[in-house]
Amino acid sequence: MWSRGEKSAPSGRYWMAESSVHRAMKAIVRAELECERYAVVEEPLFPPGGKVAWTSYRPDLLGYRSEGGTEELVLVECETRPSMKRFRSKNHSSVWFQPYLFRRGSVRRILAVPQGKLGLVDMKLRDKWEIWVLGATDTLERVRTSSGGVSTGLPRES
């Protein structure tokens, strides 16, 4: 699989092969989200259906579940070498989600980083992102959003 980077792909564009660490990180997060009953898609080329939209963005993983009157979308970014400059340059704030009428909707955001790389992450991201520290085979730690819960991506109620 080709990802954005520095080497040339067969098309002549600048790309590089996805690293085994990045693939393993996506597999770990995917398995955890599937245990939480999310349907998960890896690197979707386009937003699914008319309920989700984004501009110039593609998450590493996109999850969806609908339970008890609530529809939940989860966006996952796996960063093998976290760079806050690169992370902030991604257009993840362009994501728009419209749940069905009479249903609550939320957008959950997860930044996954390898063990030993948490120090490279600006903890101010906790305003909207959960931060997961991943080991070789499973999640070692989950740093919740600063509110202590799952980020809804929606304005807080007063």
Condensed to tens digits (0 to 9), the pLDDT of residues 107-141 reads 899 999 999 999 999 888 888 899 999 998 888 88
pLDDT at 139: 83
144 neighbors 130 (Cβ within 8 angstroms): yes
pTM (2 decimals)?
0.78
Return the closest-CA partner of residue 80 out of 113, 58, 50: 113
pLDDT at 152: 37
DSSP 8-class letter at 103: -
Which residue stretches of the chain have pLDDT < 50?
1-9, 11, 150-158
Domain spans, the chain: 20-143
Return the closest-CA partner of residue 62 out of 34, 100, 24: 34
Considering the segment(s) 20-143 as one domain, its CATH architecture is: 3-Layer(aba) Sandwich (3.40)
Phi, psi of 94 (to 5 degrees): -80, -5
Q: Angle 73-38-44 (CA atoms, 0-180°, nearest 5)?
A: 60
